[in-house]
């Protein structure tokens, strides 16, 4: 591991907040290079294309969440339904802290990118879909355990998990439209009222 790989991480460090706070199309390679103190040719030594860069950014965000709030929230030591509360809380506080620093509600980078690029780039769409699929399984495992524990009545855990994920993304979308993370606080807890019944056999 050379110190030189530091260049790659400087590029990522410059790209991450930009893609999060603006959009895929609105962030240029040149700007990233300037911010990283790098020449454009050097950028293309580490990333074959802009798409590869944003995929690396997606991975970084994904890892950050998986090892951070998500790991805390989906702690097996917590009662299942409390994990969902925890996740909503974490999302709220995160968005709120970003707004305090940045002045704006930036929302979920996965949702942002999905709506921007998924009709134009199937590879990016697949990448983002994989993120959502993983998130959904965290929810469905939790719901399975809640049903097993008798905390909630039996339901279609797969579909309800997907519904909860959709709801979370939707609330973040609306909060972004209002530039106000407080909407997450007001609407977040209702996620637990969502139910998709089991289909009769």
Partner DNA sequence: CTTGCATTTTACCGATCGGTCAACTAGTAT
Partner DNA sequence: ATACTAGTTGACCGATCGGTAAAATGCAAG
Provide the binding-site residues for DNA, judged by CB under 7 A: 2, 4-7, 25, 27-31, 38-42, 44-46, 48-51
Written as six digits, the tokens of 108 are 């979920």
Opening angle at CA 10, ends 21 and 24, nearest 5: 30
Smallest separation (angstroms) from DNA to the CB of 32: 8
- Judged by beta carbon distances under 5 to 8 A according to partner kind, the member of DNA, a copy of itself, none in contact with residue 4 is DNA
Site for a copy of itself in 137-196 (CB under 8 A): 159-160, 162-163, 165-171, 173-174, 176-179, 183, 186-187, 190, 193-196
Distance in angstroms (rounded) separating the CA atoms of residues 157 and 175: 27
Residue 123: HSE in the Cβ half-sphere, 13 Å Cα cutoff: 8
Smallest separation (angstroms) from DNA to the CB of 117: 12
Distance in angstroms (rounded) separating the CA atoms of residues 141 and 127: 22
Distance in angstroms (rounded) separating the CA atoms of residues 107 and 130: 19
Site for a copy of itself in 38-77 (CB under 8 A): none
128 binds a copy of itself (CB under 8 A): yes
Residues listed for the chain: 201
Closest CA to 171 of 125, 118, 107: 107
Q: 84-113 mask for a copy of itself (x: CB under 8 A)? A: --------------------xxxx---xx-
Closest CA to 44 of 11, 3, 13: 11
Nearer to DNA, 13 or 81 (CB): 13
Alpha-carbon 56 to chain mean position:
14
Q: Which of 35, 42, 118, 137 binds a copy of itself (CB under 8 A)?
A: 118
Burial class (CB in 10 A: 0-12, 13-18, 19+), 147: middle
198 binds a copy of itself (CB under 8 A): no
Smallest separation (angstroms) from DNA to the CB of 9: 11
Nearer to a copy of itself, 12 or 168 (CB): 168
Site residues (vs a copy of itself, CB under 8 A): 21-23, 25-26, 104-107, 111-112, 114-120, 125, 128-129, 132, 159-160, 162-163, 165-171, 173-174, 176-179, 183, 186-187, 190, 193-196
């Amino acid at each position: 591991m050379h110190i030189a790989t530091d260049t790659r991480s400087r590029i990522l460090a410059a790209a991450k907040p930009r893609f999060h706070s603006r959009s895929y199309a609105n962030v240029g390679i040149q700007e990233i290079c300037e911010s990283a103190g790098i020449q454009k040719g050097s950028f293309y030594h580490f990333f074959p294309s802009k798409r590869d860069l944003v995929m690396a950014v997606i991975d970084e965000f994904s890892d950050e969440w998986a090892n951070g709030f998500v790991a805390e929230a989906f702690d097996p030591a917590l009662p299942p339904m409390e994990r969902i509360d925890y996740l909503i809380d974490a999302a709220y506080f995160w968005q709120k802290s970003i707004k305090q620093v940045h002045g704006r509600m930036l929302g979920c980078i996965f949702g942002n990118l999905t709506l921007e690029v998924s009709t134009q780039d199937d590879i990016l769409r697949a990448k983002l879909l994989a993120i959502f699929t993983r998130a959904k399984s965290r929810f469905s495992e939790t719901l399975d355990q809640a049903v097993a524990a008798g905390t909630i009545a039996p339901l279609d855990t797969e579909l309800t998990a997907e519904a909860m994920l959709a709801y979370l993304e939707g609330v973040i979308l609306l909060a972004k439209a209002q530039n106000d993370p407080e909407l997450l606080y007001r609407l977040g807890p209702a996620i637990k009222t969502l139910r998709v019944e089991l289909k009769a056999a």
